[in-house]
Amino acid sequence: MGLFGKTKIKAGEVDFNNLPRHIAIIMDGNGRWAKKRGLPRTAGHARGAETFRTVATYCKDIGIEYLTIYAFSTENWKRPADEVSAIMGLLEKYLFEAIDRMERDRVKMKFFGDTAPLSPKLRALIERTNEISTRYEGCQVNICLNYGGRDDILRAAKGCAENGDFSEQAFSERLWSGGIPDPDMIIRPGGEMRLSNFLLWQAAYAELYFTDTLWPDFTKSEINRAIVWFQQRERRFGGI
């Protein structure tokens, strides 16, 4: 038996009283999932969108305060136009459906990244979700859209230069994630072992969890497995 806090927890079980506050996920493997099944890459993105819905709901239900997901990077514009269009279409569909459920489910949404290049319809949906999110407190889902870690850092540095304040706190507040605690854990499905320009400043002391499971195959059990691994880590933040 292992002990987490005051509650006895069996080996391999999640201690739901000792959860990370903030989990970040690089949603990777949609294209490979589709290719393995002889399907177009767009089918993988559609399945991945459903996985995101399931995982976000589960994280909210168990008490995770913040969930940040990497939906579309500044580099993803290099992908084929039909694939980019499909990803944006899926996001529009998800946000349109989410607007009706956000207040009922107590899920807030915030977007990290430059939304200027997005379609007027998508920008309007983003503004609508932002407005709804100001009305209540609840689990916050951060969607990184047209986001890049280097771009995030450069943007914050420019803001500090304009105001003549280069303290660590001032810099952090000018990131897209300003006011939000750094992720405790970053999960990357799909077998790759890199951050891919994701939350580079914020990831300074995050625990990095990699798994070969492709994102469309990610389940609640996979999230639990990652949390159990996290709860076994000894976080020293540079100390002894």
Catalytically active residues, by annotation: 28, 76
HEC sequence for 9-44: ECCCCCCCCCCCCEEEEECCCHHHHHHHCCCCHHHH
Counting beta carbons within 10 angstroms of the beta carbon of residue 144, is it exposed (0 to 12), middle (13 to 18) or buried (19 or more)? buried
Spatial contact of 146 and 72, defined as CB atoms under 8 Å apart: yes
Nearest-CA neighbor of 27 among 190, 237, 166?
Answer: 190
